[in-house]
Amino acid sequence: MGNSDTTPSSAAPHPQAGTGVLVYCASRKSADPKFREAAARLGRELAGAGCSAVFGGGAFGSLGPLAAGALEAGS
User: Is the pTM for the entire model greater than 0.75?
Assistant: no
pLDDT at 44: 92
pLDDT at residue 58, as a whole number: 73
Beta strands in 8-69 (DSSP E): 20-22, 52-54
Q: In terms of residue numbers, what domain contains 36?
A: 32-75
**Contact in structure between 37 and 3 (CB atoms under 8 Å):** no
15 within some domain: no
Q: What is the pLDDT of residues 13-55, one digit of tens each?
A: 566 667 888 888 877 778 788 988 998 999 899 888 888 888 7
5 pLDDT above the threshold of 50? no
| pLDDT over 70 at 63, yes or no | yes
The whole-angstrom separation of Cα 72 and Cα 75 is: 7
Domain count across the chain: 1
Does a structural domain hold residue 45? yes
